[in-house]
Amino acid sequence: MTKSLQSAAEIIIGKIGAARGLDGLVRIIPLTDFVGRFDGLEKISVGGKIFGVEEVKHIGGEIFMKFTGVDNRESARALTNKFLTVDRKDAAPLADGEFYTFDIIGCEIFSGEKKIGTVTAVLKTGSNDVFEVDGKILIPALKSVVKSIDIAAKKILVEENAY
């Protein structure tokens, strides 16, 4: 039901891990459900600074990237733990009924006219997502429970007694 990550202007899609080799290649820790989105990138924001993408490699099930101007191990190490972000307009398209996690967080949950609370987190359980409401209530993000989601109004309507 939801796809991972973040704010209105930019979306976090990954985090830089360790440097690999001596030529500035870095390991990417994907923080997106759309791992293929790294392929074909021409530029990306790394810790708030725009870099050109010279190369994307898939090695042993992991993703590695080479950025313009990052030509040695030391400059690659300086990027470790920085987040990779893209503009919201460049977000991967979603199918009907799918929402980004960052759009769900902050929505108010209602059961009929009664306000239950505000979504503070979306937990990934494997079988389905779970909305955490005010850090206390857990509501499964299932079609049988969630009646409607209005991202523009920041409102989610759930079945009565669903929590």
Give CA–CA dist 28/25, Å, rounded: 10
Q: How far apart are CA 17 and CA 100, in angstroms?
A: 24
Alpha-carbon distance of 144 to 162, in angstroms, equals: 9
| Predicted local confidence at residue 10, as pLDDT | 83
pLDDT at res. 126: 82
pLDDT for position 1: 47
pLDDT score at 106 = 94
Pairing of strands 155-158, 108-111: parallel
d(CA 51, CA 67): 6
98: its two tokens: 């799918």
Residues of the chain with pLDDT under 70: 1-8
H or E stretch at 76: helix 73-77
Q: What is the CA radius of gyration of the chain?
A: 19
Q: In sequence order, which residues have a C-beta less than 8 Å from that of residue 50 and are 6 or more positions away?
A: 43, 44
- Structural domains of the chain, ranges and CATH numbers in brackets: 2-90 (2.40.30.60), 105-158 (2.30.30.240)
